[in-house]
A and B are shown apart, each in its own frame.
Chain A
């Protein structure tokens, strides 16, 4: 092959390869996009938490309000726990128990307590969507999950206050939906696996409508979280994420 031809081929190869480097996303950018797609100015949703074990199924229903990445309020509407509320803000988590008219402020390890005996913790239910504040990210590669081409990322906790020290997540390259997540201890011991079973399109974004969470440390136990309705960017009252509204 003549020198000019080799030069031409090399030049063409570089021209083909360079853009893919220029436009390839870093792990941090994938996480930022993932958080952006999961965060709305405001949202109002209703749904249920279904827990199964050897003795059958327990269902709790809820209504939830959220604003931005940090503020959320969940009110349980099912009979046994009706009126119990969880308010999450940037720095604190408050619980309200209507029977005793009791307002409890939770901090620290108490955030990891199970919500209503499910495989979800208070931290899971009201998780902040500022992932990069709490985790460092490594982009591991790509895999197909449920027919969707996904980025595979490993997140390692920067601080000890998070619920899961290590997370491995599969993020859709098109929609930035997390199709699957594995939550582990710092020693890489698998604790929980989350899978998205179905999705819904809202405001041009793909969001999970049914999610299954399995606690890998327990036999015969799983939790399904289902969204029955979701409205986004709806006007919310100015005081909805306040103690006054929590105890209302």
Chain B
């Protein structure tokens, strides 16, 4: 009942936020997935079906004010909250010297597909992520942001994150500076947030090319007294390169790392919140322009455990793709990835359609 009410409210809100609805062309993104999973800890096999539905209502693509409402729902999640259903609801206004963004959306700070120390707003260090998705991190939040261009390829951005408790002292804010120095992109910024505990997070992020594209980010979490513990310094980085073969066959290689260098480097079981060292290798092979085969894995070298996902995606018709994956953790009981607890071996096939 709560779910239906929430959905109704969300749709009413979307109409209110989109007064020019007649001129809006909605985009529906639907993903259906069926599969089986095996839970080694209980030696049980589960079968399930899931659906992710995303409806996007963008404003007309003209003028100095734009916006978008994106509603998301998942089956079998029967009671989503309004916060979960409204994935995005924002407006942008372009003034002569700056741009305002207000509402619920995302700002991508730093560089990195899975690991990104520069993502001080939402955090990109957790290993609790589905490696079957094209976009691994897409968390959104309420904000008001101002973007000041400082030339064609440089800008300064500030963000205000409203308090969720209603107390003004719990509000967060941040800023970043983005520019190019020679062939290297340089980005540096700071955010202070209060999700129960006040944290100050300065960061720096660099990106360039040495034959392969490279990126490197570092951040530190400081407490209210501007002190940090050994787990609070985070360094991430990566290399990305594409190899081309006759017939437009492509192999893309990505290797990312995450490190908390001040943590213990002893070979022992790791925990998601304070892992010392992780690797994310990714191979994507495209034998034809419509088919891609991928191997993605999160490796924890200090406890020799890993979570691997083999996937395939076939873009059959316009907007329509067939997908499949096999995912499995490997490791012992005290390791980051293991066959204990809730971790499962999963096999899934499905389809996605955008129209």
Contact = CB atoms under 8 A, between A and B. Distances in A.
Interface of A: 51, 53, 55-59, 77, 79-80, 82-83, 89, 91-92, 97, 99-103, 105-110, 112-114, 117-119, 185, 189, 191, 215, 217-218, 221, 239, 241-244, 247-248
A174 B197 CA distance: 73
Q: Name the interface size band of chain B.
A: 35 or more
22 contacts: A55-B316, A56-B318, A77-B61, A79-B354, A80-B318, A82-B58, A83-B58, A89-B152, A100-B108, A101-B106, A105-B185, A106-B213, A107-B183, A107-B208, A108-B241, A109-B242, A109-B244, A110-B242, A117-B290, A119-B248, A218-B289, A239-B152
Contacts of A80: 318-319, 354
Contacts of B48: none
B19 interface: no
Given A100-B138, A215-B248, A242 B213 contact: no
B137 interface: yes
B212, B213, B316, most chain A CB atoms within 10 A: B213
A105 B247 CA distance: 26
Nearest to B68: A98
Interface string B216-240: 0000000000000000000000001
Contact of A239 (B92, B137, B149, B242): B149
Contacts of A241: 152
Contact of B27 (A79, A110, A218): A79
B248 A243 contact: no
B183 A91 contact: yes
A248 to B, nearest CB: 7
A163 to B, nearest CB: 9
A221 B209 contact: no
Interface of B: 25, 27, 58, 61, 66, 92, 94, 99, 105-108, 135, 137-138, 147, 149, 151-155, 178, 180, 183, 185, 207-209, 211-213, 240-244, 246-248, 250, 252, 286, 288-290, 315-319, 354-355
Q: Which 7 A-B pairs have the closest CB atoms?
A: A217-B247, A107-B209, A242-B152, A117-B289, A244-B149, A58-B318, A101-B106
Contact of B244 (A51, A106, A112, A119): A112
Nearest to A243: B153
A243 B183 contact: no
Given A101-B108, A218-B247, A108 B137 contact: no
Nearest to A115: B289
A231 B224 CA distance: 57
A243 B155 contact: yes
Contacts of A101: 105-108
B106, B149, B207, B290, most chain A CB atoms within 10 A: B290
B108 A103 contact: yes
Contacts of B355: 79
A143 B289 CA distance: 34
B138, B208, B244, most chain A CB atoms within 10 A: B244
Nearest to B178: A243
Contacts of A239: 149, 152
B54 to A, nearest CB: 9
A185 B151 CA distance: 39
Contacts of A242: 149, 151-153
A100 B290 contact: no
